[in-house]
Structures are given as C-alpha cells and as structure tokens.
Amino acid sequence: MKQASIARRRLDERLKTSSLNEIPRPHRGWIRAVREALGMSTTELGQRMRISQQSVVDLEQGEQRSTVQLDTLARAAAAMDCELVYAIVPRTSLEEIVRARSHEKARQLLATVEHHSRLEDQAVSNADLAAQIDEIAADLIDRRGLWRDSET
C-alpha cells in the first residue's frame, strides 16, 4: 500500500470523529461574538492585544471578509483566554475525493480514444467503457500527477 493511501485512510479516520464542519461561523465573526459574550469592549481587547481600538474593529471586519491572518486570530484568541482551532475539513472523505478525481482523470484520458473509436465505428459498449474507466482509475489513484489539470 502506498504512503499517500495510508496517510489518507488515517486522516479519514481522525476526521470521522470530528464535527468541526458542523459549527457555523457567527455572522459577524468569532472574534466579535466571543468578545461580546465576554462583555469585552473593542478598547479592552485592543489593550490586551497591545493594538488600538480601531485596529480591533479592522480585525473584526477582516475576519468577516476572510482576510485576517492566522497569527492575528491566534493573538486575539489568546487575549480572550481562548484557543484558535484551525482545520481543513473535507466535504466528503479523502478517499472519496481521490476516487472521484481518479475516475475523472480516467474519463479524460479515454475521451480521445473513445471519440476516435466511434469515428472508426469501433465503439465499445457502455459497460466495457465503464470497466476500462474503473481499471485506469484504480491505476491512477496513488500516482503523482493525479491533480494535474492536463497531461504534459
């Protein structure tokens, strides 16, 4: 079994138990939501972070626009006695993402061959084509270049 496949399975197992993707970001952002829940003003948070009150307002707006930097989020979290939790959570399992991509890539590779076969009246059945796609996809799944947009 290849290294990427082992890593993918291990990470999928860890992510199964996580519910991070089920926690929606508050409309005005986490910094403002937590700050207000603590009863902390922007001036007080600024003092704790050693930045101006206006910088806190800018920080909260930056979080809303998704332009805030992780180190700044971590500083804000620490100033409110919180931890910053950062994760990239797949929409499905990593295994499903890789399998879907390998099938997409296999279909791309066979598209030209299939087109020429049809022109020469040598088209294969849909079942045979699906079997070929599955076979090529299985071969591609752990190869480098799976995520390249075009063959070079």
Q: Is residue 127 part of a domain?
A: yes
Q: Is residue 85 part of a domain?
A: no
Helices in 38-148 by DSSP H: which ranges? 42-49, 53-64, 70-79, 94-119, 126-140
70 and 103 in a single domain? The answer is: no
8 and 23 in a single domain? The answer is: no
pLDDT in tens, 79-124: 999 999 888 888 889 999 999 999 999 998 888 776 556 555 566 6
Task: Report the share of the chain in percent with pLDDT over 90.
Answer: 51
Whether the model clears a pTM of 0.95, i.e. scores above it, the answer is no
Q: In this predicted structure, what is the pLDDT of residue 29?
A: 94
Q: Is residue 86 part of a domain?
A: no
47 and 30 in a single domain? The answer is: yes
Of 79, 101, 125, the one marking the end of a domain is 79
Higher pLDDT, 62 or 91: 62
123 vs 112: CA distance, rounded Å: 12
Q: Looking at the predicted structure, is the pLDDT value of residue 12 above 70?
A: yes
Q: In this predicted structure, what is the pLDDT of residue 152?
A: 45
Instruction: Dig out the tokens for 5 from the structure.
Output: 């496949």
Q: Looking at the predicted structure, is the pLDDT value of residue 68 above 70?
A: yes
Instruction: Dig out the tokens for 23 from the structure.
Output: 């926690």
Higher pLDDT, 144 or 52: 52
- Could you give the number of structural domains in the chain? 2
119 and 152 in a single domain? The answer is: yes
pLDDT in tens, 124-145: 678 888 898 999 999 888 888 8
Q: Looking at the predicted structure, is the pLDDT value of residue 42 above 70?
A: yes
Average pLDDT over residues 44-60: 98
Quote the mean pLDDT of the chain: 87
110 vs 80: CA distance, rounded Å: 56
Tell me the CATH number at 62.
Answer: 1.10.260
Of 54, 79, 104, the one marking the end of a domain is 79
Q: Is residue 117 part of a domain?
A: yes
Q: Is residue 84 part of a domain?
A: no
